[in-house]
Structure 1
Amino acid sequence: MGTSYQKGWVRLRGKKWYGYFRRMEIDPSTSEPKPAVAQVILGFKSEMSKSQAREKLEGEIAKLGKQPLNGDKSMVNGVVTFGWFVLHRYLPLKEADWRDETAKVKKHLIQADLVDEFGDVRLENFDKFTLQTHLNKLAKTRSRDRVLQIRAYIKAIFAEAVDQDFLPKDPARTLKTPANLRETDKTVLSWEQLAAALARLGLRDRILLKLDMTNALRPSELFAFRWKCHRVEAVSLTIVETIYKGKIRPYGKTKGSLTEVPIAKDLSDDLVAWRQVSQEQYDKKKKKHGLPPEDAEAFLFPNRDGSFMDPSNYRKRVLHKLATELGLPKLTFQVIRRTIATLAQKKGTVKDVQGMMRHSRVATTTDVYMQEMPEGVRATVDSIHRELQGTMKKLGAKGKMRPPAITESAAMVH
Structure 2
Amino acid sequence: MTFILAGFKGQKTVSHRCAFPFGARGPQSPPSQRKARLSQKVRRQHGVLRYKQGAHVLGFKTKGDLPTKGAAQNRWDAQHDEVIRGARAPSSEAKDPTFQSFLDEEFIPVRRSAWNNATREKLSYYFNLMCSEFGAALLTDIDKKRLQRFLNGMSDRLCHDTVSGCCIYLKAVFAEAVEQKLVAENPTKTLTLPHTRERETYTVPFGDVQRLEDALEGRDKIIFKLLSRCGPRAGETFAFQWHDLQPDQTLRIQRTYSRGELKPPKTKKSRKPIYLPLSLYGDLLQLKEVSCDPSPTGWIFPSERKRRRRLENGELDASASIMPLDYHNWVNRRLKPVADKMGIRVNCQIMRRTFATLANEAGGDLKDIQTQMRHARSANDG
Q: Taking structure 2 as the reference length, what is the TM-score of the superposition?
A: 0.67
Match of 1:318 in 2: 334
Equivalent of 2:101 in 68, 80, 84? 84
Partner Cα distance (1:88, 1:74) in 2: 19
Q: Does the 8 A contact of 2:144 with 2:191 survive in 1?
A: yes
Partner Cα distance (1:65, 1:102) in 2: 44
Equivalent of 1:338 in 344, 353, 364? 353
Distance 1:155 1:62, change over 3 A: farther
Read off the aligned partner of 1:199 and give its amino acid letter: D
2:118 equivalent to 1:105: no
Per-residue CA distance 1:67-111 (angstroms, 9 max, x = gap):
x999xx998985122122223332244445x44224312431233
Which runs of structure 1 show a deviation greater than 4 angstroms over 4 or more consecutive aligned residues? Answer: 61-66, 73-78
> Once the 2 structures are TM-superposed, how far is the Cα of residue 254 of structure 1 from its aligned partner?
1.5
Match of 1:155 in 2: 171
2:135 equivalent to 1:122: no
Three-state SS of the structure 2 residue aligned to 1:307 is strand
> Once the 2 structures are TM-superposed, how far is the Cα of residue 219 of structure 1 from its aligned partner?
0.9
Distance 1:227 1:79, change over 3 A: same
2:283 equivalent to 1:270: yes
Task: Please list, as runs of the form range in 1=range in 2, the aligned pairs for 1:13-412 lying within 5 A after superposition.
Answer: 78-95=95-112, 98-179=114-195, 181-231=196-246, 233-249=247-263, 251-278=264-291, 292-305=292-305, 306-328=322-344, 330-345=345-360, 346-365=362-381
Q: Does the 8 A contact of 1:223 with 1:309 survive in 2?
A: yes
Q: CA RMSD in A?
A: 3.2
Partner Cα distance (1:113, 1:362) in 2: 30
Distance 1:77 1:336, change over 3 A: farther
What is the aligned length?
A: 288
> Once the 2 structures are TM-superposed, how far is the Cα of residue 63 of structure 1 from its aligned partner?
12
Partner Cα distance (2:80, 2:182) in 1: 11
Q: Does the 8 A contact of 2:96 with 2:182 survive in 1?
A: no
> Once the 2 structures are TM-superposed, how far is the Cα of residue 261 of structure 1 from its aligned partner?
1.9
Partner Cα distance (1:357, 1:336) in 2: 12
Partner Cα distance (1:212, 1:225) in 2: 13
Partner Cα distance (1:138, 1:245) in 2: 27
Read off the aligned partner of 2:173 and give its amino acid letter: I
Partner Cα distance (2:205, 2:283) in 1: 24
> Once the 2 structures are TM-superposed, how far is the Cα of residue 195 of structure 1 from its aligned partner?
1.0
> Once the 2 structures are TM-superposed, how far is the Cα of residue 271 of structure 1 from its aligned partner?
0.9
Q: What 5-or-longer segments of structure 1 have no aligned partner?
A: 1-57, 279-291, 367-414
**Structure (1 or 2) with the larger CA radius of gyration:** 2
Per-residue CA distance 1:278-305 (angstroms, 9 max, x = gap):
3xxxxxxxxxxxxx32222221111211
Read off the aligned partner of 2:253 and give its amino acid letter: I
Higher relative contact order (CA 8 A, sep 6+): 1
> Once the 2 structures are TM-superposed, how far is the Cα of residue 174 of structure 1 from its aligned partner?
2.2
Distance 1:74 1:340, change over 3 A: farther
Deviates most, 133-142 or 169-178: 133-142
Match of 2:308 in 1: none
Three-state SS of the structure 1 residue aligned to 2:257 is strand
Partner Cα distance (1:245, 1:102) in 2: 14
Partner Cα distance (1:175, 1:271) in 2: 52
> Once the 2 structures are TM-superposed, how far is the Cα of residue 309 of structure 1 from its aligned partner?
1.1
Q: Does the 8 A contact of 2:126 with 2:165 survive in 1?
A: no
Q: What 5-or-longer segments of structure 2 have no aligned partner?
A: 1-74, 306-321
Read off the aligned partner of 2:215 and give its amino acid letter: R
% identical aligned pairs: 29
> Once the 2 structures are TM-superposed, how far is the Cα of residue 144 of structure 1 from its aligned partner?
2.9
Read off the aligned partner of 1:354 and give its amino acid letter: Q
Read off the aligned partner of 1:300 and give its amino acid letter: I
Q: Taking structure 1 as the reference length, what is the TM-score of the superposition?
A: 0.62
Per-residue CA distance 1:176-205 (angstroms, 9 max, x = gap):
2234x3332211122211111100000211
Distance 1:165 1:195, change over 3 A: same
Three-state SS of the structure 2 residue aligned to 1:79 is coil
Q: Does the 8 A contact of 1:239 with 1:259 survive in 2?
A: yes
Partner Cα distance (1:144, 1:63) in 2: 49
Partner Cα distance (1:169, 1:182) in 2: 31
Q: Does the 8 A contact of 1:82 with 1:118 survive in 2?
A: yes
Distance 1:225 1:207, change over 3 A: same
Distance 1:150 1:64, change over 3 A: farther
> Once the 2 structures are TM-superposed, how far is the Cα of residue 64 of structure 1 from its aligned partner?
12
Q: Does the 8 A contact of 1:254 with 1:360 survive in 2?
A: no
